[in-house]
């Protein structure tokens, strides 16, 4: 009887250990499966220039620099960046019959070139915003080509639900950041999204 109880305890311990290992592997190994939480490590600009953590989780610029007194945080709040309306587009989706299309309006949010942007007087802030938008506008053909190529490579099944739209947002942001470099794309907004 005691031997049977000991065997049950060992089996329970072993099952718990196996479950724990599988759970940790599920969380840490990259995959497209849904996760209960995501761990993302982001390195702030300036970290390699002697910047130090400032206690609230963000990176403070090196001591004695102008940015030290004006830095608010590593990333602005959603919607505080520089907005660029790419406009509407209608594209055929990847479909064997070719009868599905997507009408989408996309607005990109860019990180301002200087964190001082958020503390500048209105006139100077507008000048920096206009300068950044003119740099983006000069790259508009590249942006349009990338968006058209990316959107036409998607099928209805890829984008019909919320998860698909979120994956599309992330892919647009990642691809534009790779191609454009600076200014950095920090968010992608769909202001119109119709699939038919």
The domain total for the chain is 1
pLDDT in tens, 41-84: 555 554 444 444 444 444 444 444 444 444 444 456 778 888 99
Q: Is position 31 within any domain? A: no
CATH of the domain at 86: 3.30.479.30
How far is the C-alpha of 148 from the C-alpha of 134, rounded, in Å? Answer: 21
Say which residue the tokens 């709040």 belong to. Answer: 77
Q: Is position 158 within any domain? A: yes
pLDDT in tens, 100-134: 889 999 999 998 888 788 888 889 889 888 998 99
How far is the C-alpha of 168 from the C-alpha of 145, rounded, in Å? Answer: 16
Q: Is position 18 within any domain? A: no
Q: Is position 103 within any domain? A: yes
Containing structural domain, residue 101: 75-195
Q: Is position 107 within any domain? A: yes
Q: Which of 108, 61, 58, 44 is nearest to 81 (CA)?
A: 108
Q: Is position 38 within any domain? A: no
Run of H or E residues at 147: helix 140-152
**Structure tokens given for 116:** 């001082």
Q: Is position 185 within any domain? A: yes
Q: Is position 6 within any domain? A: no
Give the angle 153-155-159 at the CA atoms, nearest 5°: 105
């Amino acid at each position: 009887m005691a031997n049977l109880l000991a065997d049950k305890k060992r089996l329970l311990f072993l099952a718990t250990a196996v479950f724990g290992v599988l759970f940790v592997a599920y969380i840490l190994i990259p995959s497209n499966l849904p996760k209960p939480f995501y761990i993302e490590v982001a390195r702030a600009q300036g970290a390699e220039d002697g910047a130090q953590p400032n206690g609230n989780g963000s990176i403070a610029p090196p001591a004695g620099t102008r940015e030290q007194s004006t830095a608010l945080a590593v990333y602005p709040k959603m919607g505080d960046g520089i907005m660029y309306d790419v406009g509407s587009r209608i594209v055929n989706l990847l479909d064997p019959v070719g009868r599905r299309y997507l009408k989408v309006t996309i607005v990109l949010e860019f990180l301002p070139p200087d964190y001082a942007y958020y503390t500048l007087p209105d006139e100077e802030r507008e000048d920096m915003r206009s300068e950044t938008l003119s740099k983006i506008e000069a790259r508009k053909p590249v942006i349009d080509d990338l968006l058209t190529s990316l959107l036409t490579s998607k099928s209805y099944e890829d984008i019909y639900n919320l998860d698909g739209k979120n994956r599309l947002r992330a892919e647009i942001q990642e691809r534009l950041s790779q191609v454009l470099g600076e200014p950095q794309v920090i968010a992608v907004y769909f202001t119109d999204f119709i699939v038919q």
